[in-house]
């Protein structure tokens, strides 16, 4: 059976400006190669854009980046033309900044020093805001937790969360990390290298020849101390936790925040992690000033929205001018202007299909019910889409078949068979790039929907699984199958069995024991599922060149090779005792705040 393996976690590395057209009759003063001293004597390099006719100190917008200032030129000119100074700062060891480049680790303290240096300049009125996406979104949180006094607001966009969505997901690493490290190696930009097909061939070579994951740097020639350091931390341990804000640090945060992400944003997990933690631990006053904006965008679309993502096409109203939204936000917070028009309430999201914006006060309010489907398979055969099992709203009864469905994964079986093919998406969308390969999976369908439903929230899958090895990796996917037999991806998730209970500590599986696995549905979506459509659930194992390969031995996965391979029989139970089920969050009631 052919199924798709969606590469959940990849974020684009080349950062560009928002594309705002520079007015030909506008003037701006640009100061190049400005040195910002840090507390340990390292000088960071900055490029500063000032309004050409500036007569008084103004608020400053800072973006701190590992990708160089050139991509921010449009932003710099835009803000200089609209009454702000704009400062692009190269992180330590990148661009023209001094020091050794080490992703994440020095950024918070360096950013604190940069914010306060900017605030001390005669052209700044001691008010500094921050913006930027991906790494540049994450870095705002690392700086915010240091509490620089002059930082007045941040707009973290598509923000990565180290240890959670990059360089791994649910403690499963992916080869892409060496590609990203290659793009930020040295001082200069490496954009052509970043986009080269050469990387993909290397991933396939590692997969087909069973080269251990910890040799990926030598295989590619990208010897990088960071890669080796990262894979020495396979759990979500104190190393990763130290990079993210702690509960106590969230409690002290007190500036307005506008979090931006997208339905298809490969760093949505990170963006919502910061949002959820902030809303859990910050003061009531701080939480009242934290807004969330989520559109039907992919990773880069969070900054440059487009009307479509792959074959998904949305309404014209989905294409927001994000630089204008950012300007309105900064005007509201730092110049006593009006609140951005799109922010009708504290959580604003786009419903795909209805093609409308909705707003609610709390993220929990985007859904008000759960549609639960239980898995069943009368003949205990659910191994292809034509003879699939069923999804039913009735919990299995005592008379229902109790035997599990099963699929077998031999880590050596698919070597040489992997091939890439884009099914529903454009190859330019790295996050939605799919991998098609020969493998078995279990499949379950619901009856056609009697009415359309609004699916809003995170889809969860609770599965009762038995395996005969100490470890393996699982994947589940959910699709809408329309009356025309169109296959529309809704969500998927991965679990490495040894981390089924906690990402912080591994616990190998006792072979033959039925265990509970909760796929938490880390991606949030909002879309209409049409009347007459069916829901499809696919469940199986993870085996693809774009993911770290698990050979099922229970050993250190980064060092496993073919000699460690163990074939695993995966049994998915669905009975009254073990009611495996899919949970779809839905919105039954209309929202008076519809835009």
pLDDT tens for each residue of the chain, 595 residues long: 333 333 333 333 333 333 444 454 467 899 999 999 999 999 999 999 999 889 999 999 999 999 988 878 989 999 999 999 999 999 999 999 999 999 999 999 999 999 999 999 999 999 999 999 999 999 999 999 999 999 999 999 999 999 999 999 999 999 999 999 988 888 887 777 777 789 999 999 999 999 999 999 999 998 788 999 999 999 999 999 999 999 999 999 999 999 999 999 999 999 999 999 999 999 999 999 999 999 999 999 999 999 999 889 999 999 999 999 999 999 999 999 999 999 999 999 999 999 999 999 999 999 999 999 999 998 777 887 888 999 999 998 776 666 799 999 999 986 544 444 333 333 333 333 333 344 589 999 999 999 999 999 999 999 999 999 999 999 999 999 999 999 999 999 999 999 999 999 999 999 999 999 999 988 899 999 999 999 999 999 999 999 999 999 999 999 999 999 999 999 999 999 999 999 999 998 654 444 4
pLDDT at 590: 54
> What's the Cα-to-Cα distance from 177 to each of 1, 103, 226, 419, 476, rounded to whole Å?
30, 12, 10, 20, 23
For the chain, which domains are there?
A: 28-161+244-362 (3.40.50.1820), 369-587 (2.60.120.260)
- Closest to 411 (Cα-Cα) out of 450, 469, 465: 469
- Closest to 89 (Cα-Cα) out of 326, 75, 150: 75
Cα 366 to Cα 585: distance, rounded to the nearest angstrom: 9
Kindly write down the DSSP assignment for every residue of 363-419, as one continuous string.
GGGG--EEEEEEEE-TTS---SSSS-EEEESSPP-TTS--PPEEEEE-TTTTTTT-E
pLDDT at 216: 96
Is the separation of the CB atoms in 327 and 275 below 8 Å? no
Is the separation of the CB atoms in 316 and 307 below 8 Å? yes
490: helix, strand or coil: strand
pLDDT at 303: 94
pLDDT at 23: 53
């Amino acid at each position: 059976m052919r199924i798709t393996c969606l590469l959940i976690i990849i974020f684009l590395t080349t950062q560009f400006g928002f594309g705002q057209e520079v007015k030909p009759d506008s003037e701006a003063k640009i100061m190049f190669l400005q040195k910002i001293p840090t507390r340990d004597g390292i000088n960071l390099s900055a490029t500063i854009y000032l309004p050409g006719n500036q007569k008084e100190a103004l608020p400053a917008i800072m973006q701190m980046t590992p990708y160089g200032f050139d991509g921010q030129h449009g932003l710099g000119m835009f803000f200089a033309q609209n009454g702000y100074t704009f400062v692009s700062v190269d992180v330590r060891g990148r661009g023209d900044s001094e020091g050794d480049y080490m992703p994440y680790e020095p950024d918070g303290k360096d950013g604190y020093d940069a914010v306060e240096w900017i605030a001390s300049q005669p052209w700044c009125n001691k008010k500094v805001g921050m913006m930027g996406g991906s790494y540049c979104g994450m870095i705002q949180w690392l700086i915010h937790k240091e509490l620089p006094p002059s930082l007045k607001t941040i707009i973290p966009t598509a923000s990565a969360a180290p240890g959670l969505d990059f360089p791994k997901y649910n403690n499963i690493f992916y080869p892409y990390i060496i590609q990203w490290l290659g793009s930020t190696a040295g001082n200069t930009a490496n954009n052509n290298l970043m986009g080269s097909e050469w990387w993909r061939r290397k991933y396939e070579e590692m997969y087909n020849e069973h080269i251990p994951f910890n040799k990926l740097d030598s295989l590619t020639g990208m010897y990088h101390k960071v890669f080796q350091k990262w894979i020495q931390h396979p759990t979500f341990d104190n190393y990763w936790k130290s990079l993210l804000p702690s509960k106590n640090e969230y409690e002290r945060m007190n500036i307005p925040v506008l979090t931006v992400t997208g339905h298809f944003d490969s760093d949505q997990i990170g963006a919502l992690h910061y949002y959820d933690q902030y809303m859990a631990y910050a003061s009531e006053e701080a939480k009242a000033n934290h807004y969330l904006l989520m559109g039907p965008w992919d990773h880069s679309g969070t900054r440059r929205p487009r009307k479509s993502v792959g074959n998904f096409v949305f309404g014209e109203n989905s294409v927001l001018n994000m630089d204008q939204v950012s300007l309105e936000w900064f005007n509201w917070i730092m110049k006593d202007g009006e609140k951005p028009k799109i922010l009708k309430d504290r959580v604003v999201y786009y419903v795909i299909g209805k093609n409308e914006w909705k707003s609610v006060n709390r993220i929990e309010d985007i859904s008000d019910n759960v549609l639960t489907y239980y898995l069943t398979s009368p003949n205990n055969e659910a191994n292809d889409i034509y003879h699939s099992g069923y999804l039913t709203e009735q919990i299995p009864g005592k008379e229902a078949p109790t035997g599990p469905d099963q699929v077998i994964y031999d880590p050596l079986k698919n070597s040489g068979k992997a091939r890439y093919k884009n099914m529903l998406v454009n190859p330019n969308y790295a996050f939605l790039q799919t991998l098609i390969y020969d493998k078995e999976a279990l499949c379950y369908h619901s009856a056609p929907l009697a009415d359309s439903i609004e699916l809003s929230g995170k889809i969860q899958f609770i599965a009762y699984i038995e395996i005969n090895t100490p470890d393996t990796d699982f994947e589940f996917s959910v699709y809408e199958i329309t009356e025309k037999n169109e296959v529309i991806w809704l969500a998927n998730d991965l679990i490495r069995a040894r981390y089924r209970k906690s990402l912080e500590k591994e616990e190998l599986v006792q072979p033959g024991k039925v265990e509970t696995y909760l796929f938490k549905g880390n991606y949030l979506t909002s879309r209409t599922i049409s009347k007459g459509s069916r829901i499809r659930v696919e469940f199986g194992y993870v085996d693809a060149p774009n993911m770290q390969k698990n050979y099922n031995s229970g050993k250190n996965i980064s060092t496993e090779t073919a000699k460690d391979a163990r074939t695993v029989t995966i049994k998915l139970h669905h009975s009254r005792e073990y009611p495996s089920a899919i949970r779809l969050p839905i919105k039954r009631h209309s929202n008076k705040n519809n835009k």
